């Protein structure tokens, strides 16, 4: 067995030392690496956010120069979207999908290893721009041309290649997830018996496959405009800067659903478990998710209402956008119906899931307000937009990732996390997030523009409040790190089922889940 390292040898444990992590093709190891990486990026992106909020604590310039402030908003967005939220969901997919469908591993384990190991290098390259003479990218995470081409710092080329690498990683990851779900389901696991988390990820993977190449395309065009004299986005050479926005948002809008669909899956699992009921309206959940995915491709120009579209365009994108509220509403009502008359208990995952349902819905409503084209002319580029997308991304995507972590942590580590500390973490986060983002609605409606390091005196009180919330939320995440480490090191032993109302294949294997599970597929009746 000394050389028994091939991946077709199913009876050995993990290798020892660093090579275990470098060479591993095990879906659980890779899932863990994705999750740890994502946590590190969450803390890094959070640090950037705290620099922003510290500067905005009071009017005037206190700590940073306007240019560095712009670098912070840009890097915060990029790191959180591509480094924290997306890899976290891929990590959850790696860990849970094979165990949920009764597969021994991911379909393409070697590629799985590559998809992960590209990421740290991509972000190392992106972060290294902070130490360059030109400074980091400062044109916002949406990197509109010509700000990101003609007027970009020279570090933009590093940014472009980092985006290429993230794209390759995501595409390989999604190919793997699709191949796994479509080929490795245990006998009897039909599509309509798959857990909702698997369903939402299948659809997300197709979205990723469709739009990440478009993102790679748009940064490639930038690269050519900057270095090879083409004029895709330069009006002087016959190009059009507005074209950039169209291509970017053709990627960008499905991207926001990429960050929220797996969250829907997670919340569906958790709400059903802690209500001790089957998920209400499983079929409608599947169809609603598919409709949202379809609609996400035909609404992109609602990000561009003020670019001078023809009236017909404004109307089409307004109505198409509002249509998304229908399948999303189906989901929200299904979660509520699942909880209705359920025997609910409020463990930490359930607290995060309920907060998700409430706060995500609020973010959805402000989204509807922004969708109203005539009103959007006032909201465009104000803190109202910032409040809106942070409500769907932080208590939306991020809360669902935390809920998922608490929910499956006992399965991963074999130990229960500290429930009291978990609840404390929840309440600190919940209060912190609302103090942080709720006042930003008012700031935006009163006209405070986003991405500006200074502001008029009338905005001072709400900004101070918002910054206080930011520091409460930010530092309470250290508690989260502590709870996770504590559970990984020991604690009350978890049973195989872990939760009272748990259902699904992942709860039939012991806790912690053995290094290899379902080497022979289970039979689903």
Q: Which of 40, 54, 58, 240 binds other proteins (CB under 8 A)?
A: 240
Distant-in-sequence, close-in-space partners of 166: CB < 8 Å, separation ≥ 6: 82, 118, 119, 122
Q: Residue 492 catalytic?
A: no
Q: Which of 209, 298, 445, 524 binds other proteins (CB under 8 A)?
A: 209
Distances (CA, A) of 460 to 56, 347, 439: 9, 38, 11
Q: Residue 101: name the closest of 7, 217, 192, 223 by CA.
A: 192
Which tokens is 219 given?
């940064």
> Rule CB under 8 A: is residue 3 a binding residue for other proteins?
no
Span interacting with other proteins, options 26-34, 179-187, 291-299, 398-406, rule CB under 8 A: 179-187
Q: Residue 170 catalytic?
A: yes
Span interacting with other proteins, options 96-104, 133-141, 226-234, 326-334, rule CB under 8 A: 226-234
Q: Residue 141 catalytic?
A: yes
Q: Which of 95, 201, 249, 257 is catalytic?
A: 257
CA distance 91 to 36: 9
Q: Residue 328 catalytic?
A: yes
Span interacting with other proteins, options 107-115, 314-322, 413-421, 457-465, rule CB under 8 A: 107-115
b (16+ CB within 10 A) / e for 2-17: eeeeeeeeeeeeeeee
Closest to other proteins by CB, 59 vs 104, is 104
Closest to other proteins by CB, 258 vs 359, is 258
Q: Residue 86: name the closest of 192, 171, 188, 182 by CA.
A: 171
Which tokens is 260 given?
């929220």
Phi, psi dihedrals of residue 156, rounded to the nearest 5°:
-60, -30
Distances (CA, A) of 466 to 53, 78, 472: 8, 22, 10
CA distance 286 to 291: 9
Q: Which of 59, 120, 135, 213 binds other proteins (CB under 8 A)?
A: 213
Closest to other proteins by CB, 181 vs 484, is 181
Pick out residues in 141-170 that bind other proteins (CB under 8 A): 150
> Rule CB under 8 A: is residue 298 a binding residue for other proteins?
no
> Rule CB under 8 A: is residue 179 a binding residue for other proteins?
yes
> Rule CB under 8 A: is residue 309 a binding residue for other proteins?
yes
> Rule CB under 8 A: is residue 446 a binding residue for other proteins?
no
> Rule CB under 8 A: is residue 336 a binding residue for other proteins?
no
Closest to other proteins by CB, 88 vs 212, is 212
> Rule CB under 8 A: is residue 247 a binding residue for other proteins?
yes
Q: Which phi-psi region, left, alpha or beta, contains residue 102 (left: φ > 0; alpha: ψ -120 to 50)?
A: left
Span interacting with other proteins, options 241-249, 420-428, 431-439, 445-453, rule CB under 8 A: 241-249
Distant-in-sequence, close-in-space partners of 120: CB < 8 Å, separation ≥ 6: 37
Q: Residue 353: name the closest of 273, 472, 469, 471 by CA.
A: 273
Contact 74, 66 (CB under 8 A): no
Our measurement of the distance from residue 113's CA atom to the centroid of its chain's CA atoms, rounded to an integer in Å, reads 20
> Rule CB under 8 A: is residue 175 a binding residue for other proteins?
yes
Q: Residue 92: name the closest of 406, 496, 303 by CA.
A: 406
Span interacting with other proteins, options 43-51, 205-213, 274-282, 374-382, rule CB under 8 A: 205-213
Place of tokens 């891929």: 90
Give how many residues touch other proteins by CB under 8 A: 41
> Rule CB under 8 A: is residue 186 a binding residue for other proteins?
no
Contact 49, 474 (CB under 8 A): yes
Q: Which of 24, 38, 155, 170 is catalytic?
A: 170
Distances (CA, A) of 512 to 16, 39, 509: 18, 21, 8
CA distance 221 to 183: 36
Q: Which of 250, 383, 399, 417 binds other proteins (CB under 8 A)?
A: 250
Our measurement of the distance from residue 167's CA atom to the centroid of its chain's CA atoms, rounded to an integer in Å, reads 15
Q: Which of 145, 147, 189, 212 binds other proteins (CB under 8 A)?
A: 212
Q: Which of 232, 305, 356, 383 binds other proteins (CB under 8 A)?
A: 232
> Rule CB under 8 A: is residue 125 a binding residue for other proteins?
no
Q: Which of 15, 54, 130, 243 binds other proteins (CB under 8 A)?
A: 243
Closest to other proteins by CB, 222 vs 267, is 222
Minimum CB separation from other proteins for residue 250, in Å?
Answer: 7
Q: Is the bond leading into 371 cis (omega within 30 degrees of zero)?
A: no
For other proteins, the binding residues (CB under 8 A) are 107-108, 111, 150, 171, 174-176, 178-179, 182-183, 209-218, 221, 229, 231-232, 234-238, 240, 242-243, 246-247, 250-251, 308-310
């Amino acid at each position: 067995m000394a050389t028994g390292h091939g991946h077709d040898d199913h009876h050995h444990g993990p290798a020892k030392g660093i090579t275990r992590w470098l060479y591993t093709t095990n879906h659980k190891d890779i899932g863990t690496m994705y999750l740890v990486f994502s946590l590190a990026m969450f803390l890094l992106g959070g640090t950037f956010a705290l620099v922003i909020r510290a500067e905005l604590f009071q009017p005037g310039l206190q700590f940073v120069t306007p240019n560095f402030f712009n670098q912070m908003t840009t890097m915060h967005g990029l790191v959180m979207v591509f480094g924290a939220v997306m890899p976290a969901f891929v990590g959850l997919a790696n860990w849970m999908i094979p165990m949920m469908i009764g597969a021994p591993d991911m379909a393409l384990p070697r590629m799985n290893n590559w998809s992960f190991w590209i990421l740290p290098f991509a972000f190392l390259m992106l972060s290294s721009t902070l130490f360059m003479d030109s400074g980091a990218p400062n044109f916002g995470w949406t990197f509109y041309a010509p700000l990101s081409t003609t007027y970009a710092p020279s570090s933009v080329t590093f940014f472009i290649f980092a985006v290429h690498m993230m794209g390759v990683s995501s595409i390989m990851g999604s190919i793997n997830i699709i191949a796994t779900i479509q080929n490795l389901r245990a006998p009897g696991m039909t599509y309509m018996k798959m857990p909702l988390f698997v369903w939402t990820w299948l659809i997300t993977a197709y979205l990723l496959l469709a739009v990440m190449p478009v993102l790679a395309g748009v940064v490639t065009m930038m690269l050519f405009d900057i270095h090879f004299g083409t004029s895709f986005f330069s009006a002087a050479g016959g190009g059009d800067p507005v074209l950039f926005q169209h291509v970017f948002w053709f990627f960008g809008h499905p991207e926001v659903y990429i960050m929220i669909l797996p969250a829907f899956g997670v919340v569906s699992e958790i709400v059903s478990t802690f209500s001790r009921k089957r998920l209400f309206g499983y079929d409608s959940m599947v169809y609603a998710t598919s409709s949202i995915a379809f609609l996400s491709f035909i609404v992109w120009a609602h990000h561009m209402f003020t670019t001078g579209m023809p009236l017909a365009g404004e109307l089409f994108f307004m109505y198409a956008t509002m249509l998304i509220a229908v399948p999303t509403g189906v989901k929200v009502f299904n979660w509520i119906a699942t909880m209705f008359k359920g025997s609910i208990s409020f463990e930490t995952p359930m607290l995060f899931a309920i907060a998700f349902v409430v706060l995500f819905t609020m973010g959805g409503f402000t989204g509807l307000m922004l969708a109203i084209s005539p009103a959007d002319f006032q909201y465009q580029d104000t803190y109202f937009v910032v409040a809106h997308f942070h409500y769907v991304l932080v208590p939306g995507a991020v809360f669902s990732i935390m809920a998922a972590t608490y929910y499956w942590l006992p399965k991963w580590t074999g130990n229960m996390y500290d429930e009291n500390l978990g609840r404390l973490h929840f309440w600190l986060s919940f209060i912190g997030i609302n103090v942080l983002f709720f006042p930003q609605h008012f700031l935006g409606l009163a006209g405070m523009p986003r991405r500006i390091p200074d502001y008029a005196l009338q905005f001072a009180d709400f900004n101070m409040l918002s910054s206080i919330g930011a520091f409460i939320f930010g530092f309470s995440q250290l508690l989260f790190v502590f709870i996770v480490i504590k559970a990984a090191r020991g604690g009350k032993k978890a049973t195989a089922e872990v939760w009272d109302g748990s259902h699904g294949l992942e709860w039939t294997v012991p806790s912690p889940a053995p290094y290899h599970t379902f080497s022979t597929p289970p039979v689903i009746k």
